[in-house]
Chains A and B, each alone.
Chain A
Amino acid sequence: MSTESAETFTQPTSDDILRVEHISKRYGAVTALTDVSLRLERGEVLGLIGDNGAGKSTLIKIICGFQQPTSGRMLLNGEEITFSSVTDARSKGVDVVYQDLALINQLTVYHNMFLNREPVRRPLPLLRNRIMRQEAQKHLDSMGIKTLKSVDLEVASLSGGQRQAIAVARSVFSDCKVLLLDEPLAAMGVKEGAMILDLVKQVKERGISVIIIAHNYGQVLQVCDRVNLLQGGKITFDKYARDTSVEELTEMVVAEYRKALEERHREAAS
Chain B
Amino acid sequence: MNLFRSEEHLERWLAGRDRGGLTSVDTVCELAHAWYADRLDPGWRPHTLEHNQAILDRLGLIGEFWQLG
A and B: interacting chains: no
Q: Which residues on A are within 8 Å of B, measured CB to CB?
A: none
Q: Which residues on B are within 8 Å of A, measured CB to CB?
A: none
